[in-house]
């Protein structure tokens, strides 16, 4: 299938980068004048370094992923055209697959080792959006995430463009400067309020709001949690790193997995350290997000007076 000229060389992320920079500067000015957003210089510098490293990594292995998707396209089920009405369908379907990919990134430690980088900041501002992993090729998540749509019949170029649009959309929701959007927008779309919850480590906020663009997926599949006015959000990961070193941020969880597997008493435990939810341990010395939430809920029940 011939690729239309407008799509052949269109790279949404490249076009968006200048706007990212302008919005970060604007948010910094807003933070300084109003206190409505918070920055920490070393943390923001680390996030920007992670973003730069992720860009370099994508350049290095992007050709391999593109070649794989072109190969998969030969086995497509349908011939889906580049018609105008296909683009919104592709965007919605891409976000559906993103929801599940993102959800698995929080519930399978192998995928979490990559995704934890994005959650490693204890601050929440537009630079946090750029705190991206360097090891996307290593997890092999791209084998199915892009392949699913290509196998259906969406052209790899279209898949790449809507995936880029999804990432661009998610940039602006990484802010405390915007408190709430109109109710109709909050009901359907992912917003700063919804995504702040996703980055929270409060027990009730753990592993919630996985959506990229459309928050309806979380409402459909039982993972939605609204932001509560009476509970301030604490950001980061359950066991924060305490470092701004980009190399440690990028590889700390991979090293931790390797150490856990090396010390495992048997093959089953070794594989569980790799594939079980983050926080799993054979003797129960650590806690998964589910276990943390269950203990918190039990404390809430005990502290609530019986009627």
Tens digit of each residue's pLDDT (9 = 90 or more) over 45-60: 999 999 999 999 988 9
Domain shared by 75 and 178, yes or no: yes
Domain shared by 129 and 46, yes or no: yes
Which parts of the chain fold into alpha helices (H)? Answer: 5-8, 12-34, 41-73, 86-107, 109-119, 126-129, 136-139, 142-152, 156-172, 183-188, 192-198, 216-221, 246-263, 267-275, 289-303
Domain shared by 211 and 274, yes or no: no
Residue 162 has pLDDT above 90, yes or no: yes
> What confidence score (pLDDT) does residue 5 get?
63
Residue with the bigger pLDDT between 213 and 304: it is: 213
Domain shared by 19 and 128, yes or no: yes
> What confidence score (pLDDT) does residue 141 get?
82
Domain assignment of residue 110, given as a range: 5-221
Residue 247 has pLDDT above 60, yes or no: yes
For residue range 290-300, list pLDDT tens digits in order: 999 999 999 98
Dihedral sign for Cα 202, 207, 208, 209, please: positive
Domain shared by 115 and 205, yes or no: yes
Domain shared by 99 and 195, yes or no: yes
Q: How confident is the model at residue 146 (pLDDT cuts 50, 70, 90)?
A: confident
> What confidence score (pLDDT) does residue 307 get?
54
Q: Tell whether 229 is covered by a domain.
A: no
Domain shared by 187 and 56, yes or no: yes
CB 213 within 8 A of CB 166: yes
Give the end of a domain, one of 221, 254, 277: 221
Domain shared by 217 and 251, yes or no: no
Range from 2-6, 155-159, 210-214, 242-246 carrying the lowest mean pLDDT = 2-6
Residue 181 has pLDDT above 90, yes or no: yes
Q: What is the tally of structural domains in the chain?
A: 2
């Amino acid at each position: 299938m011939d690729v239309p000229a407008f799509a052949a060389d269109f790279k949404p992320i490249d076009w968006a980068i200048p706007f990212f920079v302008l919005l970060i500067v604007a948010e910094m000015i807003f933070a300084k004048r109003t206190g409505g957003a918070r920055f920490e210089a070393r943390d923001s510098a680390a996030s920007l370094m992670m973003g730069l490293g992720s860009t370099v990594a994508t350049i290095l292995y992007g050709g391999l992923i593109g070649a794989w998707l072109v190969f998969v396209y030969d086995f497509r089920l349908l011939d889906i055209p580049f018609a105008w009405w296909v683009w919104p369908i592709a965007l919605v379907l891409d976000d559906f697959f993103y929801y599940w990919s993102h959800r698995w990134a929080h519930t399978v430690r192998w995928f979490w080792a990559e995704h934890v980088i994005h959650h490693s900041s204890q601050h929440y501002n537009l630079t946090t959006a750029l705190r991206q992993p360097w090891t996307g090729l290593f997890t092999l998540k791209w084998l199915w995430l892009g392949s699913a749509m290509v196998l259906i019949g969406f052209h790899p170029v279209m898949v790449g463009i809507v995936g880029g649009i999804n990432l661009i959309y998610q940039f602006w929701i990484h802010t405390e400067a915007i408190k709430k959007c109109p109710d109709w927008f909050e009901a359907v779309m992912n917003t700063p309020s919804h995504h702040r919850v996703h980055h929270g480590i409060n027990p009730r906020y753990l592993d919630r709001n996985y959506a990229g663009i459309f928050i309806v997926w979380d409402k459909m599949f039982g993972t939605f949690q609204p932001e509560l006015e009476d509970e301030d959000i604490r950001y980061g990961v359950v066991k924060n790193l305490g470092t701004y070193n980009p190399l440690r941020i990028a590889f700390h969880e991979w090293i931790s997995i390797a150490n856990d597997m090396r010390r495992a008493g048997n093959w089953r435990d070794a594989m569980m350290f790799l594939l079980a939810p983050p926080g799993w341990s054979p003797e129960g010395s650590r806690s998964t997000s589910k276990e943390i939430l269950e203990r918190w809920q039990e404390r809430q029940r005990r502290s609530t007076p019986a009627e």
